[in-house]
Chain A
């Protein structure tokens, strides 16, 4: 159908539209009009992707000078494929409706095997790729730096974007990294030696270039051709590479010294935490390495690798990592911390020293993106509370909206179980974690649910350790055996191959009527990337509140930083983080309007307003007072009732006019009024 969105003609490749899609497009258009950034939350399965694509493509066609490119960032390869699929549909619709051949070029970067390096791709109108291509400075430099300023950047499934940013800027160094780095440096030295004998002119040429400084890069940045690289701060561009590392041999020697220093630091017996200035002072005192050459380290290594004409850069990942670390540590005096741990907390007897160079400020990595591109849209099914994202990513959005799911029938049923049948409060909090009564009641809940929920149930625990303890305890109490009469049990483990095997068998059991339970972990692979449509997930049970492991030093440092820099209290952030993961987990069950599923929050703390209020609006509005603090029995009764209601025949006609609209219905006055209520501005 063809839509009129505030004067913009939008081609929409389907005959029907959800009201929230229309509303979403409205907000999106306002964002683009204002040339600002937006934060939009819309439940999964309501056609976010196609709404985004149709509106932005229409906008591009209408105002080719205002918006030249769409950069669509998604998380995983299957998601990218989905986007491309939708895009193809849209393009077909365009050529059918307008009759002209399609002059739009879209490009998807998924994996190396699909890579194309034809120069024409630089002019693609739409680029679809993974987050890392834009956020990770190491890759962004290769792929994304030439993207035009007048682009619209969309981050889909962006509820974890702060963690992606942080990960892309953080460096972990172990003994193995250093060993491999040592090998790299040896190889470098040998190659230099060889080249010196055969082609000394090349090295001299490089030297001359370095004296001139990084002028090229500096010119490029001023003229705004490139996306700036956070690893390469502005100041160094003005200067020449310092003399101490200008010749290749000196640089290699410099790397050796730096490496030795890191090795000595890893020989600690106790935990050390220091700031970057402290680290720099220490390195100066011990091995006389100045701050300045450190800052040029990454750039200098790149230049050397180029000069030596080394083809396989992957072999040199260790030394690249170390040199990036050197540059970052000497560049940022704030937002980073260095923690050296001699062993892991769980295995205090095994020496496994790690140097964590940890970024605490996600805004550092994403800053260039916000600065460079005129519109950046952050969107996901779960972004609540919306206002926290602009705060931690340090930007100012022009639109922030949360959309609900209009439903012809209430197809999601969030229930908060607070008590067992014996009135014992259910909670995963630390004090009662080992409590026998709580574990038994959790087991009882799963057992009872396994008898009333058809096909698949997915249960999430707060951590692997917690899951192992509980499952072991259930085994001893004979609960597992009883559950297995109703359904098969599969468990997610840290081993990816094992987990995908379990997942496959789980789906098979759901398919052929045996029924299955998948025990998995919030924040694990299952909770993030895998959808449990229809019978694969008729119920999700969230055992406990998935707080992050709070004793981790990295987390503590980050919390402290958030409090000092952004005035976000520790507790607020922890709750926010826990609730977004809980929402992600339970959101796995509902992947569309014809789908239905139970969302069971098994912890009495969910009933509190501070937790409940942080759930996405589309879940929150279905939590009535009657579904708080239930006992296991009450939960079972409500679930039975819900499942029977949902099993009644449900056809498309039942949705039409309510949650699914034709063009005529969409244009009616009354509907337009209703649509304005769907978007919830904050």
Chain B
């Protein structure tokens, strides 16, 4: 593998047996290395995501973060908790970038209990500050899957049927301390169509396998920090919504940002409605400008948000546009073995030499790319740079 992901510093790693990674099978490789399998699955992800599937655009996601004793383990640097929280910050940001009309809530579980760190809300800042504060929390006791799940479900079950209900658990511990039979709860989750996914930080735990299989989520275990990040980012993309979920037209408001003082000389600074429940946002609540709900004229400083007064979903047009690409994804590039490819020897995107076993060709403009750029285009750009270039050209 040419790919050399960022790893921790050598001297920080555990007993790594680097010489064993180099082990070659003289016999003609009966044992495909796990890394190769991983590479294949990475590639598969791009291909798989291109069916015509209906995606849940409005997502309600609870992230459960394990804060049990095992989070103090230092196999992620500086320890699992800090590393997780840092990645979570990036995740929250990316999540709202890609799913602007969705909401996230964070639950922490430790000492056999589960507590909400933040409620379901559409404001990334609030979550990020909460995550930053949580770095100092102590990791004690065991987590409780049951308590965390039921806490999340209490809120999720009231969410409307056309939105997705998801729970993502980041589990470091190998045990869970449950007050009741978790298999009953799994049944409830299934009937409520709550999708539970798990990212394990240490190893495969049976109950998580069953939990994710039953509820239709995914279960992954990290290999190292970069893999962790990759797995976390998988959850940024909206999951296919189940065909059974309701379809309904949603009323949405598109408020303009207005500054009251421009139109009315006597305007006084006012509070945003989202400050009502106290916890919202940082900084002083008083301001002149803001978004005013077109229905009831309640004022909000940030979008997207659900109006506290009349319950209207308030978004801005660019938000909706950004989640648009999920509906019309870029077609998968065709994979061509290196020796069959006779054209350009350089990747059209990064201009690097094509060295891998196979190259990837855009089906519409026939430009070739390397595997890294292929992933980048599909995961981040969502459009083929060469196609765009041709369109805008003369």
Contact = CB atoms under 8 A, between A and B. Distances in A.
A269 interface: no
B255 interface: no
Contacts of B183: 512
Interface residues of B, number: 40
A146 interface: no
Given A454-B204, A512-B183, A643-B204, A648 B34 contact: yes
B363 to A, nearest CB: 24
Contact of A512 (B30, B34, B70, B207): B207
A14 interface: no
B3 to A, nearest CB: 16
B109 to A, nearest CB: 13
A626 B21 CA distance: 12
A514 B175 contact: yes
B205 A454 contact: yes
Given A409-B31, A454-B174, A514-B175, A644 B182 contact: no
Contacts, number: 110
Given A514-B177, A658-B32, A535 B221 contact: no
B183 to A, nearest CB: 7
Contact of A487 (B31, B175, B178, B181): B175
Contact of A510 (B177, B206, B223): B206
B321 interface: no
B178 A643 contact: no
Interface residues of A, number: 42
Contacts of A638: 15, 17
B220 interface: yes
A645 B177 contact: no
A649 B181 contact: no
A648 B221 contact: yes
Contacts of B37: 409, 648-650, 654
B121 interface: no
B20 to A, nearest CB: 6
Contacts of A637: 14-15
A634 B14 CA distance: 9
B214 interface: no
A513 B208 contact: yes
A408 B221 CA distance: 19
Contacts of A633: 15
B162 to A, nearest CB: 31
A613 B21 CA distance: 26
A322 B158 CA distance: 77
Interface in B181-202: 181-183, 200, 202
A512 B31 contact: no
Nearest to B182: A512
A186 to B, nearest CB: 58
A515 interface: yes
Interface in A295-349: none
Contacts of B17: 626, 638
Contacts of B69: 485
A643 B205 CA distance: 10
Contacts of B222: 644
Given A409-B37, A513-B178, A654-B37, A451 B70 contact: yes
A409 B207 contact: no
Nearest to A630: B15
Interface in A396-440: 406-410
B203 interface: yes
B41 interface: yes
B31 A407 contact: yes
A640 B34 contact: no
Interface string A494-534: 00000000000000001111110000000000000000001
A408 B203 contact: no
A364 to B, nearest CB: 44
A646 B33 CA distance: 11
A514 B34 contact: no
Contact of B203 (A406, A452, A649): A452
Contact of B223 (A455, A485, A626, A645): A645
12 contacts: A406-B30, A408-B30, A409-B32, A409-B37, A451-B70, A453-B203, A454-B202, A514-B176, A535-B205, A645-B34, A648-B37, A650-B37
Given A454-B204, A646-B204, 6 more contacts: A407-B31, A513-B145, A515-B175, A535-B209, A637-B14, A674-B28
7 closest Cβ pairs, A-B complex: A513-B207, A647-B221, A535-B206, A647-B204, A643-B203, A454-B203, A513-B176
